[in-house]
Structure 1
């Protein structure tokens, strides 16, 4: 059973999924503005999700819910930097994927770690807010615990050196 569409993890920071019918390959029955998602900025990690609504700034990077090695870490960093800067500027930020559990959890955890939480604390906060099934992908959680702080403290130019 999927959790609710989105959950607050920290003030102005939400993690969620995509409604089953809110995907690009299904026809839209109308083109009225959606007003049910109260967000200023959204990071979408699910390639088939419909774009964010009007007047919502969106960063899209669709990745598989598989191994961390399947993700371009430079682009992941860009998603994290976008979300973190919007969150810290006062935006209500949603990090979403398909079910709202793993890919969105990866980005949300990185935001919390960047904000000073330990990886374990970030994972615990996400599971408290989103449910025990959040971040069940052990490739993601193992990487968060072992590598996230180094990843966040290494600039792209330092990695290339």
Structure 2
């Protein structure tokens, strides 16, 4: 079984539905024989939000695609603002009955931050949103403690606090 840094294994599936219409995934997953497989989004989704980009991984032409280059480490205030903007886009689309995929490289942390913040926006308590992401995607989802701290603090407050260092 191939693992990434910090011991997190590749996901068992390319993406998982967290709540109806809102999916979370990565760019790779572990195939049935343990081999690393590319997770290619074609036209299964109406909107794809990518927090990591790799050529050949879609989405198909005509699929609404939003991209933000976010690291899997502490974020700057403008990056936290981008997380909020992307989560809001996902929430509006899901509420309109669209199928949305939020993905990052491994499908655990950056996508988990956007999805969990979207769930909070939809009315889920923070702890429930985190638990839902982990139970539907993987126990490895949101293993970046800084991202969990952002969620429990509130992204607006985290954005203000992270700006104090500048």
Give me the TM-score of the superposition, normalised by structure 2: 0.76
Name the structure 2 match of 1:129.
136
Residues 1:68 and 1:35: Cα distance change in structure 2 (over 3 Å)? closer
Deviates more, 1:49-58 or 1:133-142: 49-58
Aligned-residue offset at 1:79: 1.1
Measured against aligned partners, the alpha-carbon deviations of 1:68-109 in whole angstroms (never above 9, x if no partner) come to 337622222221221111111111100000000000000000
Is 1:102–2:116 an aligned residue pair? Answer: no
Give me the TM-score of the superposition, normalised by structure 1: 0.78
- RMSD (CA atoms): 2.7
Is 1:64–2:64 an aligned residue pair? Answer: no
Name the structure 1 match of 2:19.
10
Aligned-residue offset at 1:60: 0.5
CA contact under 8 A between 2:41 and 2:58: conserved in structure 1? no
SS at match of 2:73: coil
Residues 1:69 and 1:35: Cα distance change in structure 2 (over 3 Å)? closer
Aligned residues: 143
> Which residues of structure 1 form unaligned runs of 5+?
24-33, 152-161
CA contact under 8 A between 1:15 and 1:130: conserved in structure 2? yes
Deviates more, 1:70-79 or 1:88-97: 70-79
* Whole-Å separation in 1 of the counterparts to 2:133 and 2:153: 18
Residues 1:65 and 1:35: Cα distance change in structure 2 (over 3 Å)? closer
Name the structure 1 match of 2:45.
39
CA contact under 8 A between 1:15 and 1:108: conserved in structure 2? yes
